Amino acid sequence: MKTFYNHLHALHHGRLEMFRGQLVPCFEVPGRVDDVLACVRARRLGPVQQASDHGSAMLAKIHSASYLGFLEHAWADWVALDPANATRDALPSVWPNHGLRTDVLPANFAARLGRFSFDSGSPLTSGTWVAARQGAFCALDAAHAVADGARAAFALSRPPGHHAGADFYGGYCFLNNAALAAQALRDRGMARVAVLDIDYHHGNGTQAIFYDRADVFFASIHGDPHTEYPFFLGYMDELGTGAGEGFNLNLPLSRGTGFGQWRAALELALQRIAGFRADALVVSLGLDTFEGDPISGFRLRSEDYLAVGGDLADAGLPTAFIFEGGYAVVDLGVNAVNVLEGFEQRAG
């Protein structure tokens, strides 16, 4: 399996995030990808290469022009707001919810920061745009490899992407890599594409992007949003709207769920994807379902991920794996590569 590696990912390195009233060190750190890359190489998963430069036109097929412009210039605008900001990351402090307007883009950068975000836990840094853009290119390359006939490909990048919507960021995510991969597969002639999100946290951005579309089926297995981030999306009654009605599946599970129950949810999601008659599969590969993850609550073990990979291979679809969450850094490489090796062993 070929891995497309974001060699610029460490340019995005947030210092602190807001969590329950205090600033704490970020859980989303460069070491996450470094550990996975080391394991990919140690276990000889396959060739590793840097992504191609696809330009910005493809990004605009998923994200709004105003949002992309904001991201590209955000750091310069942040420093222009106050030169002292060059020494600290940007975190929003005001949001246009509860009846406030979003159709007018304020001149004040602090207000724009809130307009395009939905939490205060995703620091924007001097290298965020470059790292996120290169990560999106990794996802596009993985999708193109699959469209060109590869059974599977792996986009190894950070920051992650599945919480980012068409015009907002949050949950450590700035560009939606899985959505970009799905759109690339559509553009390459795949009539129906499924996105399966197995991160502990609901892929709210991916759901929002495809919620009114019938050509992309979205399924997510995640912690119950009654108690788990992102809280305000991911419920079972969210089925899609308009042309997309019936093409959205949420399978929330309670904190403490073990592998047996989680695997049953995976089986149901794959059954629905088979019924959709998907031509290709994009997997938002979050590994924060691991029992040792510091910010999540499922109880999957490292050996379980081999079975997860095998179950995904049984779907029989060309598959692009897109790296998402997972914050137990020392175990992350083993868990990620277990999924990929389990897939390859079953796929033959």
- What are the residue boundaries of the structural domains of the chain, listed by start? 2-347
Q: Could you tell me whether strands 22-25 and 16-19 are parallel, antiparallel, or unpaired per DSSP bridges?
A: antiparallel
CATH hierarchy code of domain 2-347: 3.40.800.20
Which residue type, as a one-letter code, is found at position 250? N
What confidence tier does 348 reach under pLDDT thresholds 50, 70, 90?
confident
| Nearest of 332, 255, 250 to residue 290 by alpha carbon | 332
Q: What is the pLDDT of residues 182-202, one digit of tens each?
A: 999 999 999 999 999 999 999
Distance CA 160, CA 164 (A): 9
Q: What is the pLDDT of residues 104-129, one digit of tens each?
A: 999 999 999 999 999 999 999 999 99
Task: Identify whether the C-beta of residue 162 lies closer than 8 Å to the C-beta of residue 176.
Answer: yes
Evaluate if residue 304 carries a pLDDT over 90. yes
Tokens of 324: 């998402």
Distance CA 2, CA 15 (A): 32
Q: Which of 12, 13, 63, 163 is catalytic?
A: 163
The predicted pLDDT at position 20 comes to: 87
Q: What is the pLDDT of residues 215-263, one digit of tens each?
A: 999 999 999 999 999 999 999 999 999 999 999 999 999 999 999 999 9
Task: Identify whether the C-beta of residue 162 lies closer than 8 Å to the C-beta of residue 14.
Answer: no
Q: What percent of the chain has pLDDT over 70?
A: 100
Q: What is the pLDDT of residues 330-345, one digit of tens each?
A: 999 999 999 999 999 9
- Check if 63 is active-site: no
What confidence tier does 33 reach under pLDDT thresholds 50, 70, 90?
very high
Evaluate if residue 177 carries a pLDDT over 90. yes
